[in-house]
Structure 1
Amino acid sequence: MRRAVVACLTAVAVATLGLAAAPAGAAPDPGVLHVAPDGKGSACGAHDPCALATARDRARALVPDATGDVVVELSGGTYRLTSPFRLGVEDSGRPGHPVVYRAVAGQTPVLDGATRVTGFSQVDAAQHIYRAKVPQGTASRELFVNGVRAVRAQSAKNPSGFSVTATGFTTSDPSYASWTDPAQVEVVQNNAWKQMRCPLASITRSASGGSDLTVDPGCWNNNHSSVPNPSFPFNGAGLPSLNGISWLENAYQLLGTPGQFYLDSAAGYLYYVPRAGENLATADVELPIAPELLDVAGTPGHLAPLNDSDWRAVYTGSWAYSSGRHLGDLGDDVHYTSTDGDAVSYTFSGTGIQMLSETSSDEGSADVYVDGTKVSTVSGNGPERLAQQAMVSVTGLAKGTHTLRVVKTGGSYLLVDGFTVIPDVVAPVHDVTFSGLTFTHTTWNAPTAEGYVDNQAGVIWDPTTRAPAHIPAAVQVHRGARITFSGDTVQQTGTSGIALADQTQDSTVSGATVTDTSGTGVSVGEVDDYYQTDPALMTSGNTVSGSVVRFPGQEYQDAVGIWVGHARGTLLSHNDVGYTPYSGISLGWGWGWASSCSLQAKQGLPDPCLHGTTYGGGNRIIGNHVHSVMGVLFDGGPIYTLGGQSAPSEFAGNVLSECIDGCNMIYHDEGSSNWNTHDNVVRFSNGSLWLNLWTPSIHDDTIHDNYSDTASFNNNGTDIDLQQATVVTDGNWPAAARAIIAAAGPGTPTGPVADDDDLRVAYTGSWSSSGSRGDGDLDDGVHYAQQDGASATFTFSGTGVGFLTETNSDEGDIGITLDGVDKGTVSANTAQRQARQSLYSVSGLAPGTHTLTVTKRGGSYLLVDGFTLT
């Protein structure tokens, strides 16, 4: 399971969309509908605003006759939602004139899926546990207190004494058997690149006097006994499986640690242990209950193939059935015939259908009939065997009941591998813009009952169908076109952040902030549409640019910052992606599916091979800053690619920094092909390879003109044009590398604090980075030096600055220089470790650009934790 530069689009998007507020005193714009959290009526005027749903319905009526954009303007405040705000095809704008949902200038409208909880009282003084009443049946896996994520009550990490049984786990400790409501308890394991979760069925006293933890049988089967492993193109290896415990979660008896909570849904009580300084009489305690906040959906929604054995397929003639072929067929089986005149019929309700087959030299021709009328002749004859090919594609039928009939007319064989029904008109919701809105607080409760059956990178298996699925998102676009998110914020979710799903096209996430999500930050595309040949049914032309995506995977730790599946013409440009438990950016799927059988054989994969095609290609990953990654899991990296690219793709101008553990800095994993990888800067790799091409199915990549602080790489690929990176020591980056660093990311950050991995910090001398420390550092990481004379220079614009570090007995003197002037030394030496200590600060500087340099003068370590700005 191994796995140049464009400008930020935000300013252009804002200007194009006409988002400037009307000048004071201007006449009301009849094309602007006004909304407020307490809006009512239908006027939707500036002085009598309406509700959001009312404005949506009014906008529908305005679009046909509008001469420009139709604008729905949201005033600041909290819009409480228990279900998503929905837009359909009927809510579309027009090309060049979208329907715009935007914030009133200077105000912050918040679409919030939580209910506020009050009325806490202490119920256990010894454990400092407080309780509040909530409606019985309230379900949620998340809680936020004063804007900080709380943690479901959980055990210490890696509890000892457990062993695997046929039904779960056993331990000699009898205390678990006394836990109340064991069916609400989850067992969690982080293993390699996967996180697996299962609810328990029971906890009982074992025959030996300990405790037997019986895992829910269905989840135990999916995560342990029979892990889904359909192999290419859905999965690489299936394993690892759930075979240990990283922690136990969600039992009342686990409460006691500040910041943890337990929700007793049946009894209607929320329990919480406050952190230091939290007063529950005044705290803002938010319990997410909405599964989603925004749903923008065209038709027909998600398309997925059904197997050739589907009950609606009727085979007439001398057909045979073959399974266990290991040729990459859907479900590893086909129906086939060698007799001309044999036919397969499939009756369906919808507007179109596709039939999957194989191509090969022994395949022949067939006539295609719809409702008794011949519409085409197709052929499966080809020079090599390719599985899951869309041999028949019929679209544009009137919505209703139809019958497809395919009749063999020539060649040795006709194979049927599956059918994809298109149940509705292919009609994207289109030309809608969201600007300046904040989306916060969602929950996803399915894992509570079914567990979390992981594949990789936030792609999971449906527990019932065992088909590929995704963590749902707070903001979802299904089959959209020209949908724009500009300057929006998605934060504090129990789901993923933004999903451009179901073959969305030409849509943009620009200047967004997506942070503190349980799942993936931003996702684009699908994993089960690789076979598509119809451009209207492909994910294409989407952009994620100028955005900040941080702290994804806060619950489901296999999730990544930005994920792209099968897609054409995707641009990931100048984003800041960081603080991830697994990879930062992941693009592609299918493993070695698109690699030839000869390359698969070189890899040692079985013969015959699982080989097909994918439409993905022409993608660009340009100018991103990806940092502080792999904080929990293994076998990923800052930017990770997977599977074949059918057209040349580009990976350039990125700064890849601060691997925490288990990294490959530039990771072209299995099947990655046709990448032009150049002009990237790799730094603070912490012992990782700057490049890993681990197997022969990685092929036809060109890698050149990169810069790295390590010379180590691995190249077992095929037909790789590889140039060793320019290796740089002690932070002495050449001018070209410095230019890449300066241009990466969404531009100069704003805000009162800069972390130690901020691109404005230049490290000179021998430095390393450390993350996931658990010592209270800013964003849980630091840079550190052990060599006297090593320095860090922070270049900033402002009138004041402060330096943050840790103090400890192994810290020493630090030299301070401001704008080239020596400001003396400060000491970081203290008897005990203290995090986020401000040892130097200055204010009253002349407005403009300044530099602060800190230099190690003594002690064992100098730690840089960050800088404060005025």
Structure 2
Amino acid sequence: MPARQRAALVAIVSALLTLGTSPLSTPSYAASSSDLYVSPVLGNDHTDGTARHPVRTLRRARDLVRARAAHLTADLTVHLAPGTYRQTTPLVLDARDSGTNGHRIVWQGNGTAVISGGRQVTDWSQVPGRKGLWSAPAPQGLTDTRQLYVDGVRAQRARGAVPVQLTRTDTGYTASSDTLAHWKHPADAEFVYTSGEALWNIERNGLGQWTEPRCRIASAEGTTITMVQPCWDNSNKRVEFPDIPGRTVGMVGPGKLTNGGKATYIENAYELLDQPGEWYLDKAARKVYYLPRKGENLTRADVEAAAAEKLIDGRGTADAPVHDVAFRGLQFSYATWLTPSQPEGFSEIQAGYTVTGAQGWATQGLCQYVEGGTCPFASWTKMPGNVSFAYGQRIEFGDDVFAHLGAAGLDLGTGTKDSTVNGSIFTDISGNGLEIGGVDGQTPASGVQVTDNHLYGLPREFHGGVAVLNGYTQHDTIAHNQIDHVGYSAVSLGWGGWPDKIGDPATPNSSHDNAVTDNLVFDYMQMLDDGGGVYTQGLTGTSMTDGEKVTGNVIHDQWGLGKNVYTDNGCTYETVEGNVLYNASYANVASRHTDYRDGLGNNDPTLVKDNWWEEGTADSDNKGLVTTGNTIMAGLSDVPSSVLENAGLESQYGGLLDRRIGSVSVPEAPSRVGTSTAGADALYVTFNPSFVDGGSPVTGYTARAYDAGGQEVGEQAVTAGEFKKTALVRIGGLTGGPFTVTVTAANAHGSSAPSLASSPLTPTAATALPAAPSSPKLRTARTAATLAWTPPTATGDAKVVGYVVTVSDGRDPISVTGRDVLVGQPSAKGMFRVIGGLTPGTAYTVTVATVTAAGTSPAVKVTATTRT
């Protein structure tokens, strides 16, 4: 480049760095003579880092910071020019990289500086004899990865049904044939065990309906499938109490993979490359294979293979913390996490915590309950962050993007203190979005403020992950965030300490004074079950005064079985106040536990106060569980507008919702397709909707039925709005059987790849009517009432698809449909619906009847008088 042209470009970049910051950034800092400048395009690491002579790499900038940090008289800003900063190893920061004398080190981008752990994949060509399949040489230095992205859109590792029948053994499986032994590289393949509520011909595999463990094949020889260790033992040999069948000493989930250890599907094999958007890395041949989606052109696309496992690694210690460092206007992308591909695998407990080590199943976190148990109780292994800090003080992330990442996005771990995450986006992350604190009994995180962030479209790979994971912490605040379209729980707090299941009191921990307030949470638990919008385990403090506060949140539209606010085992001293809670399966607040024992047989002290909800539970003091002042809501008009408007992003951060990350693409395929008979010639189909929409809202779904020979024999489309209401699609005109069903999702950009197929099912005539519901109750307010009932245990020869409610005031019958209808019946979870438009002081008789494909059951009725 000519010197004059280069000088002009440097001047432009310098001006942008000095003046051009994102409008969402926390206060920008004027450039001073001590500021440093970095450009991945124009920089040179042999220069001094001035505006006219920027350095090229973050590491060189860090070294220059170290030379100046001890003598700061103002904040020192490291200005990052637009471009991609490729990291083969993390930018390691320690105490030497901290601000001093009351000033900060500020790493400042302008929204287009990307800190990347990716390797570009280039030189694509079509594979002879494989229509549509392309290949490229693996980039230099790439030995393995779990993620590939095409123009910022995550590709799916090749996956499909397990092609053989498997019988579990001590070391793996015996297969019904030697098919897997003939694959190119069977030891690359990974079994995935998707859990969930047992429903409609959907198998419950895995280690609890909130988990999705993964283990790789070690070898396939003939019909003998050997699985990698220790993943296999950690997933199948967890210690159980000898006198409590099925109860693990860890007290979370089963002792071994359920359903005979059957895998839901298999992933990462060349032989499974059959759908657009799928890819495979042949490590032996050093080739990347990809089946392009419609409209993708690999000769022009930016294809990134995630290579580095960490982008920034803040390595503080208790004696020498990293402190007074800020990251603003930066994007962190294209990092991976390779442990699940290794013998350790991914033996999940919950929320990305795993059992690890050769004897993990026998000792890890089991403390006093087994000989040699490690302490503290329930101290399992936390998923790492692609950006992480330990013992960081006054660390700030503002106006940043965490996207296209392969582990947790950001981990502010043990010893983090007085730090903030503000105005940032977390999306397209394999596991947890943001992690705070730890579960290992060391120094808790404290004073972390997580405010005005948008977290959505995650987790993408480890589906038991959550948007915000808060471990053992003190004085943390999670406020004014929007969390939507997530696979499991939105916010998960606390960990450990629930041996109530064997009659022991909760284990003390260091948590207290944490708050989850004024967040907007919706469309959560879109894939797994038994979680919540806000989910808590373990003691939250030492009293109601310093216990956890969940206040002012608006939480709605949950798909999987669970609660809006879930106070699970061990959760004690929690206040749930002033929230708006609706559209849950099966409760707004789960709060009655007996984990805490004070010698009087009391329940866990919990306060559920002044919420707007649909549950309608009456005021009471149930041995320490206080329910008071809650309002039944028939609709949002019953809630003060100020409460609704205050939840979620504050007005100055509304622009986060309009920022697009990556290219617009088709949605992710739906998951967990299940079927039930809808009569002699029809099937009902249900599935988990696509919570990753590709940057354009999902408009509808199409279900397709196939006969045993793979021939399509029927299809039915449904709009996204209608499916959200009914959770059902009906495919008619089927004769014979059995049939499998796949489902695709559509948006303005096109249709997704098909889902994995349902288990085969043959339609049968449905003639036997179901039993009526039982235990109807009418919980009344002045102008509304909550009708609650228990689903029937006998459903005739078909599954429950709805209920019919009538009200004695002559209004039209009310049709009750939705996902809670489907998951509530087999698990015997209570149902409820709000009936609005009632007259104060009036007696009403309400009936409810069960609906299946065979017809409608007799109705049961209940009478009550509304309040005056």
Instruction: Give TM class, smaller chain.
Output: 0.5 to 0.7
Structure 1, residues 763-803: CA drift from partner, whole Å, max 9, x if none?
xxxxxxx984259967798799xxxxxxxxxxxxxxxxxxx
2:189 matched residue in structure 1: 185
2:502 matched residue in structure 1: 605
Bigger mean CA offset, 61-70 vs 449-458: 61-70
The equivalent position to 2:432 in structure 1, one of 520, 524, 536, is 520
Q: In the superposition, relative to structure 1, how do residues 234 and 541 fare at CA in structure 2: closer, same or farther (>3 Å)?
A: farther
Contact 2:423–2:451 (Cα < 8 Å) also in 1: yes
The equivalent position to 2:561 in structure 1, one of 648, 662, 676, is 662
Bigger mean CA offset, 703-712 vs 182-191: 703-712
1:153 matched residue in structure 2: 158
Query: CA shift at 1:701, angstroms?
Result: 1.1
Alignment of 1:614-629 (within 5 A): 614-629=509-524
Q: In the superposition, relative to structure 1, how do residues 683 and 443 fare at CA in structure 2: closer, same or farther (>3 Å)?
A: same
1:265 correspondence with 2:291: no
1:195 correspondence with 2:248: no
Contact 2:24–2:423 (Cα < 8 Å) also in 1: no
Contact 2:240–2:249 (Cα < 8 Å) also in 1: no
The equivalent position to 2:638 in structure 1, one of 734, 738, 760, is 734
Query: CA shift at 1:266, angstroms?
Result: 2.0
Query: CA shift at 1:235, angstroms?
Result: 4.0
Counterpart residue type for residue 582 of structure 2: R
1:631 correspondence with 2:526: yes
- Higher RCO, 1 vs 2 (CA within 8 Å, ≥6 residues apart): 1
Bigger mean CA offset, 36-45 vs 705-714: 705-714
1:434 matched residue in structure 2: 327
Matches of 2:718 and 2:194 in 1, distance apart? 33
Matches of 1:111 and 1:778 in 2, distance apart? 22
Alignment of 1:350-749 (within 5 A): 426-450=319-343, 451-464=345-358, 466=360, 467=364, 468-529=380-441, 537-592=443-498, 600=500, 605-606=502-503, 609=504, 612-646=507-541, 647-685=546-584, 687-697=585-595, 699-711=604-616, 718-723=623-628, 725-729=630-634, 731-736=635-640, 738-748=641-651, 749=654
Query: CA shift at 1:633, angstroms?
Result: 1.6
The equivalent position to 2:237 in structure 1, one of 225, 249, 253, is 225
Contact 1:153–1:250 (Cα < 8 Å) also in 2: yes
2:853 matched residue in structure 1: none
Of all paired residues, the percent bearing the same amino acid is: 31
Counterpart residue type for residue 98 of structure 2: S
Contact 2:498–2:507 (Cα < 8 Å) also in 1: no
Query: CA shift at 1:591, angstroms?
Result: 3.4
Query: CA shift at 1:684, angstroms?
Result: 2.5
Matches of 1:502 and 1:122 in 2, distance apart? 48
Q: In the superposition, relative to structure 1, how do residues 107 and 181 fare at CA in structure 2: closer, same or farther (>3 Å)?
A: closer
TM-score using structure 1 length: 0.66
Counterpart residue type for residue 435 of structure 2: S
Counterpart residue type for residue 650 of structure 2: G
Contact 2:353–2:382 (Cα < 8 Å) also in 1: yes
Q: In the superposition, relative to structure 1, how do residues 653 and 96 fare at CA in structure 2: closer, same or farther (>3 Å)?
A: farther
1:215 correspondence with 2:227: yes
Q: In the superposition, relative to structure 1, how do residues 776 and 522 fare at CA in structure 2: closer, same or farther (>3 Å)?
A: closer
- How many residues align? The count is 618
Q: In the superposition, relative to structure 1, how do residues 525 and 717 fare at CA in structure 2: closer, same or farther (>3 Å)?
A: farther
Query: CA shift at 1:85, angstroms?
Result: 0.8
The equivalent position to 2:81 in structure 1, one of 75, 78, 83, is 75
Q: In the superposition, relative to structure 1, how do residues 218 and 18 fare at CA in structure 2: closer, same or farther (>3 Å)?
A: closer
Query: CA shift at 1:457, angstroms?
Result: 0.6
Counterpart residue type for residue 616 of structure 1: S
Contact 2:419–2:447 (Cα < 8 Å) also in 1: yes
Matches of 1:154 and 1:654 in 2, distance apart? 38
Structure 1, residues 432-468: CA drift from partner, whole Å, max 9, x if none?
1111111101111111122111111111122346342
Contact 2:137–2:288 (Cα < 8 Å) also in 1: yes
Structure 1, residues 524-576: CA drift from partner, whole Å, max 9, x if none?
001011xx6xxxx3321111111111223211111100001111101001111
Structure 1, residues 731-790: CA drift from partner, whole Å, max 9, x if none?
343242x322211111353355999xxxxxxxxxxxxxx984259967798799xxxxxx
Contact 2:25–2:329 (Cα < 8 Å) also in 1: no
Q: In the superposition, relative to structure 1, how do residues 783 and 683 fare at CA in structure 2: closer, same or farther (>3 Å)?
A: farther
2:369 matched residue in structure 1: none
Which structure dedicates a bigger proportion of its chain to strand? 1
Q: In the superposition, relative to structure 1, how do residues 128 and 240 fare at CA in structure 2: closer, same or farther (>3 Å)?
A: farther
Matches of 2:433 and 2:70 in 1, distance apart? 35
1:239 matched residue in structure 2: 254
* Unmatched runs of 5 consecutive residues or more in structure 2: 1-21, 196-208, 365-379, 596-602, 665-685, 701-714, 723-742, 750-814, 819-868
Contact 1:454–1:461 (Cα < 8 Å) also in 2: yes
Give the match's secondary structure for 1:54: helix
Query: CA shift at 1:164, angstroms?
Result: 2.6
Contact 2:25–2:399 (Cα < 8 Å) also in 1: no
Counterpart residue type for residue 44 of structure 1: G
2:706 matched residue in structure 1: none
Contact 1:546–1:575 (Cα < 8 Å) also in 2: yes
Counterpart residue type for residue 45 of structure 1: T
Query: CA shift at 1:94, angstroms?
Result: 2.6
Q: In the superposition, relative to structure 1, how do residues 862 and 486 fare at CA in structure 2: closer, same or farther (>3 Å)?
A: same
1:290 matched residue in structure 2: 308
Q: In the superposition, relative to structure 1, how do residues 776 and 57 fare at CA in structure 2: closer, same or farther (>3 Å)?
A: closer
Counterpart residue type for residue 64 of structure 2: R
2:126 matched residue in structure 1: 122
Structure 1, residues 355-376: CA drift from partner, whole Å, max 9, x if none?
xxxxxxxxxxxxxxxxxxxxxx
Q: In the superposition, relative to structure 1, how do residues 553 and 753 fare at CA in structure 2: closer, same or farther (>3 Å)?
A: closer
Contact 2:399–2:424 (Cα < 8 Å) also in 1: yes
Q: In the superposition, relative to structure 1, how do residues 203 and 140 fare at CA in structure 2: closer, same or farther (>3 Å)?
A: same
Query: CA shift at 1:146, angstroms?
Result: 1.1
Matches of 1:648 and 1:812 in 2, distance apart? 40
The equivalent position to 2:52 in structure 1, one of 39, 47, 51, is 47
Query: CA shift at 1:18, angstroms?
Result: 4.4
Bigger mean CA offset, 142-151 vs 707-716: 707-716
Structure 1, residues 153-181: CA drift from partner, whole Å, max 9, x if none?
1114x878444333323443543332121
Counterpart residue type for residue 576 of structure 2: T
Matches of 2:227 and 2:405 in 1, distance apart? 27
Bigger mean CA offset, 573-582 vs 481-490: 573-582
Contact 1:151–1:259 (Cα < 8 Å) also in 2: yes
Matches of 1:125 and 1:465 in 2, distance apart? 47
1:144 matched residue in structure 2: 149
Give the match's secondary structure for 2:234: helix
Counterpart residue type for residue 574 of structure 1: H
Matches of 1:640 and 1:689 in 2, distance apart? 13
Contact 2:146–2:406 (Cα < 8 Å) also in 1: yes
Give the match's secondary structure for 1:46: coil
